[in-house]
Structure 1
Amino acid sequence: MDILGMMPSFGGFLGTLVAFVVALSVIVAIHEYGHYIVGRWCGIHAEVFSLGFGPVIYSRVDKRGTVWQVAALPFGGYVKFLGDADAASGKDGETISQLSEAERKRTMHGADLWRRSAAVAAGPVFNFILSILVFTGIFLFSGTTTDDPVIGEVKPHPGQEELFEPGDRLLSVAGVETPDLAAFYTAAREADPAPSVSYEVERDGDRLSFDSVFPFPPVIDQLQPKSAAMDGGLEVGDVITSVDGQAVYALSEVQELAQSSEGAPLALEVWRDGETLQKTLTPRQRDLPTGDGFETRWLIGFSGGAFFEPPRVTLGAGEALLGGLNQTWFIATSSLSGMWHMITGAISSCNIQGPIGIAQTSGDMASQGVMEFIWFIAVLSTAVGLLNLFPIPVLDGGHLVFHAYEAVMGKPPSDKALNFMMMGGLTLLLSLMVFALSNDLFCP
């Protein structure tokens, strides 16, 4: 039984909150463990490892003297090293002054520069490692499709008679030969939307011809979080049969009608397991990456594909790892590109989400299944790792900038300058959080 998929059944708010706390706790635990374990390897003593803030509800002390604790507010965490004044690794000058030279070497402020830098960088690095491992595991589990135009499983569709069978090889679509899957996709994209299209298949050595549904029908394969489709109650497997009374046969038709609506409500007729439903959804404006920038479109918020699922084959460990690396790199570079386009005004700043938006996305992804939720955790882990590398005092990236200054100048910034910059960084970070929260409340 898919427990995550049951979340909406006991309350949308509760399900969203649980999903958010689970996702954030996993990511924070990995991030802080990176700081802790690399710091320990480098001889820096951790006094406290805390998952959450506020009142402590559970704690224990390990043989190294580190307090491991779970606090009541599960919206973050920290590692407090020896010599730290607070969770942000501010310097506790009074405590450090009372330590011996050997003990100072075990503090975040007295250890060798490379050791401190390694411990600081380890948090974001562990976030990236988590993403890579999760994506690699998913690729190993789900495999990949071959380039053969072979039918694995046919998606349910009201106009889909039981003509195709698993193992059928597609020979042509609408009169265009399809020697491989890429050729099938090209032929499908170029075909004019119609109630039915001619197909030729090879089955057990025989060549069969018949008409069936359009190759890219308006079938929902995946729902986008925080979308009109998700909020409007559409589900994976739904088939959109008409928009504003106009029959639709291709996914591209729904996309074009949503774009031309410019945000006006659309009346959808939806087929679901033999039942016809009526839905009214209002497309939302979204900025989509195009490879060389972003494109702003009106979207209902779902993705689809071919009328069938191709067979999948197992990936080797090396191929899966390469896929995990590429996926993590894509998310990081796309995020940086999006931020740059927001700064330059090319796309809306509403793309920045705050805690409410991230929580809602967590719940939406969890409601679609365990695999989708795990995928989301990996995506969010990359984002958290990237954010922490920004050169803002208080964040890991800011500490690394201070370390770079120390490496060049031969001494760290003065305590007064550090305190000033830390307060400035904290102010900037809080301002960004308030701005992101306002997006959650006021952006569609």
Structure 2
Amino acid sequence: MSLTSLIPEFGGLMWTIAAFVVALSVIVFVHEYGHYIVARWSGIRAEVFSIGFGPVLLSRTDRRGTQWQVAALPFGGFVKFLGDAGAASDKAAESYEALDAASRRQTMHGAPLWARAATVAAGPVFNFILSILVFSAIFMVQGTPKEPVEIGTLKAMPEAQQGLLPGDRILAVAGREVDDYAGFFNEMRGIDVASGLTYEIERDGVRRSVEGPFPFPPVVDGLQAGSAAMDAGLRIGDVITAVDGRAITAFRELQDAVAASEGREMVLDVWRAGERMEFALAPRRMDLPGAEGGFETRWLIGMTGGLLFTPATEMPDPLTALGDGAEQTRFIIGNSLSGLWHMLTGAISSCNLRGPIGIAETSGAAASQGADSFIWFIAVLSTAVGLLNLFPIPVLDGGHLAFFAYEAVAGRPPNDRVMRILMTIGLALLLTLMGFALTNDLFCP
């Protein structure tokens, strides 16, 4: 990937930057607010709460003496506590020694070990809480599919949907009975691809047979940011009618064609809201989580398919939605750790690690797909930021927690000189990682 290919027309570039800044600012605010509020509850005084670095653009001091500010470089933030030398929470020795005992208790360095540990851990924890709440809210807004299988709305297709109507309950397809969505998906795996199938449905309390298309058509249900499909100009709702001139009816036929291409350029015939067009694109190698753990490398174009219809939904209760949100967050953490391990062992390409340019591109792509996609991306990124900050690298929250663990066992904090050396090493490691990720942004396909 060349640097020039990363720069779209000016409006697109500004949209990407704006989306990235908004996403990052939300996540940073929640992270730093976690540090701030738990410190306040623990008796530690915050002097500055900043979104961004550099020259201050806006500021206000609250009744507790904390200065809340927005700075010119919106790529991070910090909370400066009483007795700190700066944003990194290093001890300002002279000013700290000048404080009396009561004031020292209000500093990060003079607070009890439990208060310091809770304050540091709160940043990543608040990131995870944000993710869980956002995922839960999305699940509640979108709803969960009703059981048994019921059609909510039919997706636009190039051919008539024949006898199916919104509100129909699907009882069987091609002679295969279905009771719920688990059974529906299981039974549909075994049916032959055909342009017309017999559906047994219940409509207005009456069971009847109608004709309908294949239940998993080659329709674009989702697009991955930075994928071949998105770069080529495909949109959600597009229907792929042919691959290299060969007509297809099912999404699995598109998958088979992509897998067989081994990266060769393909021509897709697409139907979009009554208009027919062609797109040329080349599948790309991608590493994906395997069904039984680990990763598998496949040729993909970066689009997902779905059902012929949007299922009728119902709102889940808040506890169920909260549990689903927590499970989604756990899933992202697990996949992230697995992916990192497989990159370290060489099982998958290190190009899977992306830096600020890649994240910014993904932010802009998610925002271009709608508010729900962008909000979902913020939740995913918040999980990633929380996880990264827990790594036991000095200068990160996880590094501070490791120092606190040593203090709890040894009964004293690490030597100041050792701390400075470790912090320097940690900063060097972090800068190296960022440089490597940025290199991937520029040169990985």
TM-score (norm 1): 0.96
Per-residue deviation at 1:297? 0.9
Alignment partners' CA distance in 2, 1:197 and 1:348: 42
Note the alpha carbon deviations across 1:383-404, whole angstroms, 9 max, x for none: 1000000000000000000011
Query: What residue is the counterpart of 1:337 in the other structure?
Result: 338
Per-residue deviation at 1:160? 3.1
Query: What residue is the counterpart of 1:323 in the other structure?
Result: 324
Query: What residue is the counterpart of 1:4 in the other structure?
Result: none
Per-residue deviation at 1:294? 1.1
Query: What residue is the counterpart of 1:184 in the other structure?
Result: 184
Alignment partners' CA distance in 1, 2:283 and 2:334: 27
Note the alpha carbon deviations across 1:101-159, whole angstroms, 9 max, x for none: 22111111111111111110110011011111111111121110123122111111112
* Maintained 8 Å contact 1:393/1:399: yes
The one-letter code sitting in structure 2 at the alignment partner of 1:229 is A
The one-letter code sitting in structure 2 at the alignment partner of 1:350 is C
Per-residue deviation at 1:242? 0.6
Per-residue deviation at 1:99? 1.4
Query: What residue is the counterpart of 1:88 in the other structure?
Result: 88
Query: What residue is the counterpart of 1:369 in the other structure?
Result: 370
Query: What residue is the counterpart of 2:241 in the other structure?
Result: 241
Query: What residue is the counterpart of 1:411 in the other structure?
Result: 412
1:275 aligns with 2:272: no
* Maintained 8 Å contact 2:164/2:210: no
Alignment partners' CA distance in 2, 1:80 and 1:440: 32
Note the alpha carbon deviations across 1:72-95, whole angstroms, 9 max, x for none: 010100001112112111121121
Query: Residue 14 of structure 1: SS of its match in structure 2?
Result: helix
Per-residue deviation at 1:212? 2.6
The one-letter code sitting in structure 2 at the alignment partner of 1:102 is A
* Maintained 8 Å contact 1:127/1:385: yes
Alignment partners' CA distance in 1, 2:404 and 2:230: 46
Alignment partners' CA distance in 1, 2:101 and 2:248: 76
The one-letter code sitting in structure 2 at the alignment partner of 1:147 is E
Structure 2 CA distance for partners of 1:92 and 1:243, relative to 1, 3 Å:
same
Query: What residue is the counterpart of 1:420 in the other structure?
Result: 421
Moved over 6 A (4+): none
Query: What residue is the counterpart of 2:21 in the other structure?
Result: 21
Q: Which moved more, 1:160-169 or 1:300-309?
A: 160-169
Query: Residue 152 of structure 1: SS of its match in structure 2?
Result: strand
Per-residue deviation at 1:9? 10
- RMSD, aligned CA: 1.4
Query: What residue is the counterpart of 1:353 in the other structure?
Result: 354
Q: What does 1:178-217 align with in structure 2 at a 5 Å threshold? A: 178-217=178-217
Could you tell me which runs of 5 or more consecutive residues in structure 2 were left unpaired when the two chains were aligned.
1-7
Alignment partners' CA distance in 1, 2:135 and 2:230: 24
Note the alpha carbon deviations across 1:325-351, whole angstroms, 9 max, x for none: 111111111111111111111111111
Query: What residue is the counterpart of 1:431 in the other structure?
Result: 432
The one-letter code sitting in structure 1 at the alignment partner of 2:39 is G
Query: Structure 1 vs Structure 2: percent identity of aligned residues?
Result: 62
Q: Which moved more, 1:150-159 or 1:71-80?
A: 150-159
1:310 aligns with 2:311: yes
Per-residue deviation at 1:162? 4.4
* Maintained 8 Å contact 1:159/1:212: no
Per-residue deviation at 1:195? 2.3
Alignment partners' CA distance in 2, 1:164 and 1:378: 36
Q: What does 1:245-256 align with in structure 2 at a 5 Å threshold? A: 245-256=245-256
Query: Residue 260 of structure 2: SS of its match in structure 1?
Result: helix
Per-residue deviation at 1:209? 2.9
Per-residue deviation at 1:405? 0.6
Alignment partners' CA distance in 2, 1:141 and 1:151: 18
The one-letter code sitting in structure 2 at the alignment partner of 1:47 is E
Q: Which moved more, 1:296-305 or 1:160-169?
A: 160-169
Alignment partners' CA distance in 2, 1:189 and 1:206: 27
Alignment partners' CA distance in 2, 1:293 and 1:20: 30
The one-letter code sitting in structure 1 at the alignment partner of 2:420 is N
Note the alpha carbon deviations across 1:253-288, whole angstroms, 9 max, x for none: 111111111111110000000110110011111111
Alignment partners' CA distance in 2, 1:169 and 1:400: 54
Alignment partners' CA distance in 2, 1:199 and 1:207: 10
TM-score (norm 2): 0.95
* Maintained 8 Å contact 1:147/1:182: no
Alignment partners' CA distance in 1, 2:132 and 2:179: 34
The one-letter code sitting in structure 1 at the alignment partner of 2:371 is V
Per-residue deviation at 1:71? 0.3
Q: Which moved more, 1:49-58 or 1:80-89?
A: 80-89
Alignment partners' CA distance in 1, 2:161 and 2:79: 60
* Maintained 8 Å contact 1:354/1:436: yes
Note the alpha carbon deviations across 1:368-420, whole angstroms, 9 max, x for none: 11111111111110110000000000000000000111111111111111110
Alignment partners' CA distance in 1, 2:183 and 2:114: 54
Query: What residue is the counterpart of 2:130 in the other structure?
Result: 130
Could you tell me which runs of 5 or more consecutive residues in structure 1 were left unpaired when the two chains were aligned.
1-7
Query: What residue is the counterpart of 1:5 in the other structure?
Result: none
Per-residue deviation at 1:47? 1.1
Query: What residue is the counterpart of 1:383 in the other structure?
Result: 384
